[in-house]
Amino acid sequence: MTSSPSVPSDISAAERLRVAIVGASGYAGGEFLRLALGHPRLEVVQVTSERNAGLPVPLVHPNLRGVTRLRFVKLEELDEVDLLVAGLPHKRLAGRFDALAGKAARVIDLSSDFRLRDPAVYEHYYGEPHPRPDLLGSFVYGNPELHRAELAGATRISGAGCIATAAILGLVPLLAAGLVAKRDVVVEAKIGSSAAGNQPTGSGHHPERMGVVRTYAPTRHRHTAEIAQELPGDLRVHLTATAVERVRGILATAHVFVPDGTSERDVAAALHERYDDEPFVRIVQARKGIHRVPDPKILDGTNWLDIGFELDPDSGRVVVMTAIDNLVKGTAGHALQALNVAMGWDETLGLTFPGLHP
Protein backbone atom coordinates (compact mmCIF):
# COMPACT_ATOMS: atom_id res chain seq x y z
CA MET A 1 0.00 0.00 0.00
CA THR A 2 1.08 3.58 -0.61
CA SER A 3 0.14 6.79 1.05
CA SER A 4 0.58 8.75 -2.16
CA PRO A 5 -0.98 12.17 -2.64
CA SER A 6 -4.75 12.26 -2.89
CA VAL A 7 -6.24 11.34 -6.24
CA PRO A 8 -8.79 13.64 -7.89
CA SER A 9 -12.27 12.37 -7.20
CA ASP A 10 -13.09 11.99 -10.89
CA ILE A 11 -10.34 9.35 -11.37
CA SER A 12 -11.37 5.94 -10.08
CA ALA A 13 -9.02 3.15 -9.05
CA ALA A 14 -10.01 1.23 -12.18
CA GLU A 15 -8.77 4.11 -14.35
CA ARG A 16 -5.29 4.12 -12.82
CA LEU A 17 -2.39 2.07 -14.13
CA ARG A 18 -0.93 -0.39 -11.63
CA VAL A 19 2.83 0.12 -11.80
CA ALA A 20 5.84 -1.96 -10.79
CA ILE A 21 9.30 -0.39 -10.83
CA VAL A 22 12.15 -2.86 -11.24
CA GLY A 23 15.43 -1.59 -9.88
CA ALA A 24 13.72 1.09 -7.84
CA SER A 25 16.59 1.56 -5.39
CA GLY A 26 18.74 3.20 -8.08
CA TYR A 27 18.68 6.87 -8.92
CA ALA A 28 16.67 6.52 -12.13
CA GLY A 29 14.15 4.06 -10.69
CA GLY A 30 13.88 6.07 -7.49
CA GLU A 31 13.23 9.27 -9.42
CA PHE A 32 10.49 7.60 -11.45
CA LEU A 33 9.01 6.36 -8.16
CA ARG A 34 9.03 9.90 -6.72
CA LEU A 35 7.21 11.25 -9.76
CA ALA A 36 4.80 8.32 -10.04
CA LEU A 37 3.68 8.66 -6.41
CA GLY A 38 2.41 12.13 -7.25
CA HIS A 39 0.80 11.18 -10.56
CA PRO A 40 -3.01 11.04 -10.40
CA ARG A 41 -3.34 8.19 -12.90
CA LEU A 42 -0.63 5.87 -11.56
CA GLU A 43 -0.66 3.53 -8.57
CA VAL A 44 2.74 2.09 -7.68
CA VAL A 45 2.08 -1.37 -6.27
CA GLN A 46 5.55 -2.95 -6.26
CA VAL A 47 9.19 -1.88 -6.27
CA THR A 48 12.09 -4.31 -6.56
CA SER A 49 15.67 -4.25 -5.33
CA GLU A 50 17.93 -7.24 -4.93
CA ARG A 51 20.19 -5.45 -2.41
CA ASN A 52 17.39 -3.90 -0.37
CA ALA A 53 14.62 -6.52 -0.49
CA GLY A 54 12.44 -6.33 2.60
CA LEU A 55 13.45 -2.78 3.50
CA PRO A 56 11.04 0.16 3.53
CA VAL A 57 11.53 2.47 0.55
CA PRO A 58 12.33 5.57 2.71
CA LEU A 59 15.45 3.88 4.09
CA VAL A 60 16.90 4.12 0.59
CA HIS A 61 15.03 7.21 -0.65
CA PRO A 62 14.66 9.38 2.47
CA ASN A 63 12.87 12.10 0.49
CA LEU A 64 9.88 9.70 0.40
CA ARG A 65 9.41 9.54 4.18
CA GLY A 66 5.71 9.91 4.89
CA VAL A 67 4.92 9.58 1.19
CA THR A 68 4.90 5.80 0.78
CA ARG A 69 4.79 2.65 2.89
CA LEU A 70 6.07 0.42 0.11
CA ARG A 71 8.84 -2.09 0.78
CA PHE A 72 11.29 -3.43 -1.74
CA VAL A 73 10.76 -6.99 -2.95
CA LYS A 74 12.96 -9.38 -4.90
CA LEU A 75 12.56 -9.66 -8.64
CA GLU A 76 11.06 -13.15 -8.45
CA GLU A 77 8.24 -11.79 -6.29
CA LEU A 78 7.03 -9.49 -9.05
CA ASP A 79 3.30 -9.69 -9.79
CA GLU A 80 1.47 -8.91 -13.00
CA VAL A 81 0.81 -5.20 -13.45
CA ASP A 82 -0.35 -2.76 -16.13
CA LEU A 83 3.02 -1.01 -16.50
CA LEU A 84 6.53 -2.23 -15.79
CA VAL A 85 9.23 0.42 -15.48
CA ALA A 86 12.79 -0.92 -15.64
CA GLY A 87 15.41 1.08 -13.78
CA LEU A 88 17.98 -1.69 -14.07
CA PRO A 89 21.64 -1.11 -14.94
CA HIS A 90 22.48 -1.08 -18.61
CA LYS A 91 22.38 -4.49 -20.35
CA ARG A 92 20.25 -6.12 -17.64
CA LEU A 93 16.74 -5.80 -19.10
CA ALA A 94 17.71 -7.14 -22.51
CA GLY A 95 19.04 -10.32 -20.93
CA ARG A 96 15.78 -11.11 -19.13
CA PHE A 97 13.30 -9.30 -21.32
CA ASP A 98 10.89 -12.14 -22.04
CA ALA A 99 10.35 -12.99 -18.37
CA LEU A 100 9.86 -9.39 -17.31
CA ALA A 101 7.83 -8.22 -20.29
CA GLY A 102 5.37 -11.02 -19.62
CA LYS A 103 4.44 -9.28 -16.38
CA ALA A 104 2.93 -6.20 -18.03
CA ALA A 105 1.23 -5.03 -21.18
CA ARG A 106 3.38 -1.87 -21.18
CA VAL A 107 7.12 -1.54 -20.60
CA ILE A 108 9.30 1.51 -20.10
CA ASP A 109 13.06 0.96 -20.04
CA LEU A 110 15.19 3.70 -18.48
CA SER A 111 18.49 2.09 -19.50
CA SER A 112 20.32 2.21 -22.83
CA ASP A 113 19.33 -1.31 -23.88
CA PHE A 114 16.77 -0.38 -26.53
CA ARG A 115 17.59 3.21 -27.51
CA LEU A 116 19.54 2.35 -30.64
CA ARG A 117 17.98 0.76 -33.70
CA ASP A 118 21.08 -0.58 -35.47
CA PRO A 119 22.81 -3.58 -33.81
CA ALA A 120 26.09 -2.71 -35.53
CA VAL A 121 26.05 0.77 -34.01
CA TYR A 122 25.28 -0.72 -30.60
CA GLU A 123 28.24 -3.11 -30.85
CA HIS A 124 30.54 -0.28 -31.97
CA TYR A 125 29.73 1.90 -28.95
CA TYR A 126 29.15 -0.77 -26.29
CA GLY A 127 31.95 -3.13 -27.25
CA GLU A 128 29.85 -6.29 -27.58
CA PRO A 129 26.90 -7.59 -29.60
CA HIS A 130 23.44 -6.68 -28.41
CA PRO A 131 21.90 -9.65 -26.52
CA ARG A 132 18.52 -9.20 -28.23
CA PRO A 133 19.00 -7.57 -31.62
CA ASP A 134 15.57 -8.83 -32.65
CA LEU A 135 14.02 -6.33 -30.24
CA LEU A 136 15.88 -3.26 -31.48
CA GLY A 137 13.41 -0.97 -33.17
CA SER A 138 10.45 -2.38 -31.22
CA PHE A 139 10.73 0.41 -28.62
CA VAL A 140 9.74 3.99 -29.36
CA TYR A 141 12.52 6.40 -28.44
CA GLY A 142 11.09 8.31 -25.49
CA ASN A 143 11.62 11.87 -26.67
CA PRO A 144 8.15 13.47 -26.93
CA GLU A 145 9.47 16.61 -28.59
CA LEU A 146 10.61 14.46 -31.53
CA HIS A 147 8.38 11.38 -31.45
CA ARG A 148 5.00 12.50 -30.15
CA ALA A 149 3.14 10.85 -33.03
CA GLU A 150 4.95 7.51 -32.65
CA LEU A 151 4.50 7.55 -28.87
CA ALA A 152 0.72 7.79 -29.10
CA GLY A 153 -0.53 4.34 -28.06
CA ALA A 154 2.99 2.91 -27.69
CA THR A 155 3.39 -0.08 -25.36
CA ARG A 156 7.21 -0.18 -25.38
CA ILE A 157 9.12 3.01 -24.62
CA SER A 158 12.87 3.43 -24.31
CA GLY A 159 13.91 6.32 -22.11
CA ALA A 160 16.28 8.70 -23.88
CA GLY A 161 19.83 9.31 -22.64
CA CYS A 162 20.40 12.42 -20.54
CA ILE A 163 23.28 14.02 -22.46
CA ALA A 164 21.63 12.94 -25.71
CA THR A 165 18.37 14.66 -24.73
CA ALA A 166 20.10 17.96 -23.99
CA ALA A 167 22.18 17.86 -27.15
CA ILE A 168 19.43 16.71 -29.51
CA LEU A 169 16.88 19.26 -28.37
CA GLY A 170 19.49 21.99 -28.61
CA LEU A 171 20.36 21.20 -32.21
CA VAL A 172 17.07 20.12 -33.80
CA PRO A 173 15.63 23.65 -34.33
CA LEU A 174 18.68 24.88 -36.23
CA LEU A 175 18.80 21.78 -38.39
CA ALA A 176 15.08 22.00 -39.16
CA ALA A 177 15.49 25.63 -40.21
CA GLY A 178 18.49 24.91 -42.45
CA LEU A 179 20.81 26.97 -40.26
CA VAL A 180 23.68 24.47 -39.99
CA ALA A 181 26.21 25.14 -42.73
CA LYS A 182 28.84 22.54 -41.89
CA ARG A 183 28.55 18.81 -41.42
CA ASP A 184 30.54 18.69 -38.18
CA VAL A 185 28.78 19.49 -34.90
CA VAL A 186 30.72 19.76 -31.63
CA VAL A 187 28.98 19.24 -28.28
CA GLU A 188 30.58 19.59 -24.84
CA ALA A 189 28.50 18.35 -21.89
CA LYS A 190 29.15 19.13 -18.23
CA ILE A 191 27.37 16.66 -16.00
CA GLY A 192 26.72 15.96 -12.32
CA SER A 193 27.68 12.82 -10.45
CA SER A 194 24.22 11.22 -10.28
CA ALA A 195 24.50 10.32 -13.96
CA ALA A 196 26.99 7.62 -12.98
CA GLY A 197 24.43 5.79 -10.83
CA ASN A 198 24.52 4.88 -7.16
CA GLN A 199 27.17 2.14 -7.20
CA PRO A 200 30.49 3.25 -5.66
CA THR A 201 33.41 3.73 -8.04
CA GLY A 202 36.94 5.02 -7.72
CA SER A 203 36.17 8.16 -9.70
CA GLY A 204 33.09 8.80 -7.56
CA HIS A 205 34.97 8.55 -4.27
CA HIS A 206 34.50 11.86 -2.43
CA PRO A 207 38.18 12.92 -2.35
CA GLU A 208 38.42 12.18 -6.08
CA ARG A 209 35.14 13.85 -7.03
CA MET A 210 35.21 16.94 -4.80
CA GLY A 211 36.03 20.12 -6.70
CA VAL A 212 36.55 18.39 -10.06
CA VAL A 213 36.13 19.61 -13.59
CA ARG A 214 37.26 16.33 -15.13
CA THR A 215 36.81 15.34 -18.75
CA TYR A 216 36.11 11.62 -18.60
CA ALA A 217 35.07 11.02 -22.21
CA PRO A 218 37.00 13.26 -24.61
CA THR A 219 35.69 11.14 -27.50
CA ARG A 220 33.44 8.14 -28.19
CA HIS A 221 30.88 8.80 -25.47
CA ARG A 222 28.04 6.33 -25.95
CA HIS A 223 25.40 9.04 -26.24
CA THR A 224 27.10 10.09 -29.48
CA ALA A 225 25.25 7.25 -31.18
CA GLU A 226 21.86 8.45 -29.95
CA ILE A 227 22.53 12.01 -31.02
CA ALA A 228 23.58 10.93 -34.51
CA GLN A 229 20.59 8.57 -34.77
CA GLU A 230 18.01 11.19 -33.83
CA LEU A 231 19.30 14.25 -35.65
CA PRO A 232 18.28 14.74 -39.28
CA GLY A 233 20.89 14.82 -42.00
CA ASP A 234 24.30 13.26 -42.45
CA LEU A 235 26.06 14.90 -39.52
CA ARG A 236 29.33 14.05 -37.82
CA VAL A 237 28.71 14.45 -34.11
CA HIS A 238 31.71 15.12 -31.85
CA LEU A 239 30.80 14.78 -28.17
CA THR A 240 32.94 15.40 -25.10
CA ALA A 241 31.69 14.78 -21.54
CA THR A 242 33.09 16.47 -18.43
CA ALA A 243 32.26 15.68 -14.80
CA VAL A 244 31.65 18.71 -12.59
CA GLU A 245 30.98 19.13 -8.89
CA ARG A 246 27.20 18.89 -8.96
CA VAL A 247 24.91 16.02 -8.02
CA ARG A 248 22.23 16.77 -10.62
CA GLY A 249 22.31 18.62 -13.88
CA ILE A 250 23.67 18.82 -17.40
CA LEU A 251 24.79 21.84 -19.36
CA ALA A 252 25.29 20.89 -23.02
CA THR A 253 27.10 23.45 -25.16
CA ALA A 254 26.86 22.85 -28.90
CA HIS A 255 28.93 24.67 -31.51
CA VAL A 256 27.62 24.96 -35.07
CA PHE A 257 28.38 27.23 -38.01
CA VAL A 258 25.53 28.99 -39.77
CA PRO A 259 25.24 30.23 -43.37
CA ASP A 260 26.62 33.67 -44.19
CA GLY A 261 24.15 36.41 -43.42
CA THR A 262 22.38 34.53 -40.62
CA SER A 263 21.26 36.86 -37.83
CA GLU A 264 20.40 36.35 -34.18
CA ARG A 265 16.80 36.98 -35.16
CA ASP A 266 16.98 34.01 -37.57
CA VAL A 267 18.26 31.70 -34.84
CA ALA A 268 15.69 32.95 -32.32
CA ALA A 269 12.93 32.44 -34.88
CA ALA A 270 14.03 28.82 -35.39
CA LEU A 271 13.86 28.16 -31.64
CA HIS A 272 10.45 29.77 -31.25
CA GLU A 273 9.08 27.97 -34.30
CA ARG A 274 10.08 24.64 -32.82
CA TYR A 275 9.39 25.17 -29.12
CA ASP A 276 6.76 27.83 -28.46
CA ASP A 277 4.08 25.15 -28.11
CA GLU A 278 6.20 22.66 -26.16
CA PRO A 279 5.10 22.28 -22.52
CA PHE A 280 8.59 21.63 -21.11
CA VAL A 281 10.97 23.73 -23.20
CA ARG A 282 11.80 27.32 -22.25
CA ILE A 283 13.77 29.71 -24.45
CA VAL A 284 16.14 31.83 -22.39
CA GLN A 285 16.75 35.23 -23.98
CA ALA A 286 17.36 37.51 -21.01
CA ARG A 287 19.53 40.54 -21.74
CA LYS A 288 20.19 41.56 -18.12
CA GLY A 289 20.98 39.94 -14.81
CA ILE A 290 22.98 36.84 -13.96
CA HIS A 291 20.52 34.35 -15.47
CA ARG A 292 21.05 35.25 -19.12
CA VAL A 293 21.91 31.70 -20.20
CA PRO A 294 20.55 28.28 -19.14
CA ASP A 295 21.79 27.01 -15.79
CA PRO A 296 21.12 23.49 -14.41
CA LYS A 297 21.04 24.83 -10.85
CA ILE A 298 17.55 26.26 -11.21
CA LEU A 299 16.23 23.09 -12.85
CA ASP A 300 16.86 20.60 -10.02
CA GLY A 301 13.85 18.31 -9.68
CA THR A 302 12.08 19.70 -12.74
CA ASN A 303 11.17 18.41 -16.18
CA TRP A 304 12.15 21.65 -17.90
CA LEU A 305 14.75 22.05 -20.59
CA ASP A 306 16.10 25.60 -20.87
CA ILE A 307 17.71 26.62 -24.15
CA GLY A 308 19.66 29.73 -25.09
CA PHE A 309 22.21 30.79 -27.69
CA GLU A 310 24.69 33.40 -28.78
CA LEU A 311 25.85 34.13 -32.33
CA ASP A 312 29.38 35.27 -33.05
CA PRO A 313 28.97 37.38 -36.20
CA ASP A 314 32.72 37.45 -36.83
CA SER A 315 33.00 33.69 -37.28
CA GLY A 316 29.43 32.57 -38.04
CA ARG A 317 29.51 30.28 -35.02
CA VAL A 318 26.39 29.78 -32.94
CA VAL A 319 26.81 28.51 -29.39
CA VAL A 320 23.62 26.73 -28.28
CA MET A 321 23.30 26.02 -24.55
CA THR A 322 20.78 23.58 -23.06
CA ALA A 323 20.33 22.77 -19.39
CA ILE A 324 18.34 19.97 -17.74
CA ASP A 325 18.13 17.90 -14.59
CA ASN A 326 19.67 14.63 -15.79
CA LEU A 327 17.44 12.51 -13.53
CA VAL A 328 14.17 14.19 -14.54
CA LYS A 329 14.13 15.66 -18.05
CA GLY A 330 17.19 13.51 -18.76
CA THR A 331 15.69 10.22 -17.50
CA ALA A 332 12.59 9.59 -15.38
CA GLY A 333 10.63 12.76 -16.11
CA HIS A 334 11.16 12.47 -19.85
CA ALA A 335 9.97 8.85 -19.66
CA LEU A 336 6.89 9.84 -17.65
CA GLN A 337 6.15 12.60 -20.16
CA ALA A 338 6.37 9.97 -22.92
CA LEU A 339 4.00 7.71 -20.97
CA ASN A 340 1.50 10.56 -20.67
CA VAL A 341 1.61 10.94 -24.45
CA ALA A 342 1.30 7.20 -25.02
CA MET A 343 -1.79 7.02 -22.81
CA GLY A 344 -3.44 10.11 -24.29
CA TRP A 345 -3.27 11.96 -20.96
CA ASP A 346 -2.37 15.58 -20.31
CA GLU A 347 1.33 15.60 -21.13
CA THR A 348 2.19 17.59 -18.00
CA LEU A 349 0.58 15.25 -15.45
CA GLY A 350 2.88 14.64 -12.50
CA LEU A 351 5.57 16.93 -13.91
CA THR A 352 4.65 20.49 -12.96
CA PHE A 353 7.18 21.13 -10.15
CA PRO A 354 8.62 24.58 -11.05
CA GLY A 355 12.06 24.25 -9.47
CA LEU A 356 13.85 26.09 -6.68
CA HIS A 357 15.67 29.40 -6.41
CA PRO A 358 18.06 30.02 -4.82
Tell me how far apart the terminal alpha carbons of the chain are, to the nearest angstrom. Answer: 35
Q: At residue 109, what is the residue type?
A: D
SS3 state of residue 318: strand
Are 252 and 167 within 8 A, CB to CB? yes
What is 65-86 written as a DSSP string?
TTTB--BEE-GGGPPPEEEEEE
Closest CA to 128 of 156, 90, 162: 90
Length of the chain: 358
Q: Which domains does the chain have, with CATH numbers?
A: 13-160+330-343 (3.40.50.720), 163-326 (3.30.360.10)
Structure confidence at residue 340 (pLDDT): 98
Between the CA of residue 27 and those of 109, 269, 278, 281, 305, what are the distances in Å?
14, 37, 27, 23, 20
Distances (CA, A) of 56 to 68, 69, 72, 276: 9, 7, 6, 43
Write out the catalytic residue numbers. 162
d(CA 148, CA 150): 6
Give the pLDDT of the chain (358 residues) as one tens digit per residue.
343 433 454 687 778 999 999 999 999 999 999 999 999 999 999 999 999 999 999 999 999 999 999 999 999 999 999 999 999 999 999 999 999 999 999 999 999 999 999 999 999 999 999 999 999 999 999 999 999 999 999 999 999 999 999 999 999 999 999 999 999 999 999 999 999 999 889 999 999 999 999 999 999 999 999 999 999 998 999 999 999 999 999 999 999 999 999 999 999 999 999 999 999 999 999 989 999 999 999 999 999 999 999 999 999 999 999 999 999 999 999 999 999 999 999 999 999 999 999 8
| CA-based nearest residue to 158, from 231, 224, 225, 106 | 106
Adjacency order of strands within the sheet including 72-73: 72-73, 42-48, 17-22, 81-86, 104-109, 156-159, 140-142
Half-sphere exposure of 339 (CA within 13 A, CB side): 28
